[in-house]
Amino acid sequence: MSVRVERAQPAAGRAEGLALLLFTVVGWGLNWPALKLVLEHLPPFSMRTVTAAAGGTIVMAMAALRGERLAPPSGQWRRLTLAAFLNYTSWLGFVSVSLVWLPASTAVIITYTMPVWAMCLAWPVLGERPRASHLMGLALGIGGVAAVLDGGRAAIPPGGLPGVACALAASVLFALGSVITKRAPLSMPPFAAVGWQILIGVVPIAVLALLLERPDFGALALHDWLALAYTAFVGLVLSYLCWFRALKLLPASVATAGTLLVPLVGVFGSGLVLGEPIGPAQLLALALTISGVALVARS
């Protein structure tokens, strides 16, 4: 079966895609210290159930206000469920559990090896052959990730290997979801598609929360509720809407390579919010990653 190779996007569409990608990067990056802050008082599955239920409800209300058809078209349920599992269930579950064992700065760096997996998957699935500039940009970006890890300020703590496994699982599955979404997008309006994915994707997380956890919401302070609100509306709803729109406007390799900036935002955000130290390794990683993303985006 032949695979259609995507043509270059017009300049206006590419500029819009890059702007949306930037918003996504900042929204997701700052979401990591917010998640870690809330996890000090709530277990992971309960926290994700609350934020996803709120986020899904918000985005479905937005879809209704926009006049979108809310019911999925006939024949879309299987594709919708697969997208929900790859883009939401795996990410919500594995990322949250990884933060139980790992500092936020470590978890975000390990998780955002996803451009490597997306680059590998985009070639056979989408026919997007990596150019030399793509490979050079990814090498610089991954070098930035390695610089943070090797710098000793985001070290894996003792007993943290389960967190590493969860972070890698989230990375691989989300990269697969991105490539599949690009290859076979949902035939649904954008807000309704995201809302359904959130609400379907959170169901297994909610079941695990009911079976395994006993959350105490009364222990949450005001800043915890604000962090929950940020996670639900910005980190989950707005950033995902921008991500899927950017994925339509940009080649998958460019879009996923742009997410290499997220760990840098997460590291510096964790330093500001959680007091995690920032040193020469983080500064070197920032320079390498920005260089790599700029090289890929210009190609």
Q: Per-residue pLDDT tens for 143-167? A: 777 776 665 544 566 677 788 889 8
Q: Is 93 exposed, middle or buried (0-12, 13-18, 19+ CB in 10 A)?
A: buried
Tell me the C-alpha distance between 45 and 43, whole Å: 6
CA angle 86, 91, 95 (to 5 degrees): 155
Position 2 scores a pLDDT of 35
Q: Left if phi > 0, otherwise alpha if psi is -120 to 50, otherwise beta: which for 275?
A: left
Give the pLDDT score at 299. Answer: 57
pLDDT tens by residue, 177-200: 878 877 777 778 888 888 898 999
Rounded CA-CA distance 224/89 in Å is 23
Could you give the CA distance from residue 34 to residue 32 in angstroms, rounded to a whole number?
Answer: 5
Query: Which pLDDT belongs to residue 114?
Result: 76
Query: Would you state the structure tokens that stand for residue 244, as one six-digit string?
Result: 């899927």
List the chain residues with pLDDT less than 70. 1-11, 148-158, 253, 256, 277, 281-282, 286, 293-294, 296-299
- Identify the pLDDT of residue 65: 92
Would you say 27 and 243 are in contact if contact means Cβ atoms under 8 Å apart? Answer: no
b/e burial code for range 48-58 (CB count within 10 A of at least 16 → b): bbbbbbbbbeb
Q: pTM score, two decimals?
A: 0.75
Compute, in degrees rounded to 10, the torsion defined by CA atoms 65, 66, 69, 75.
-120
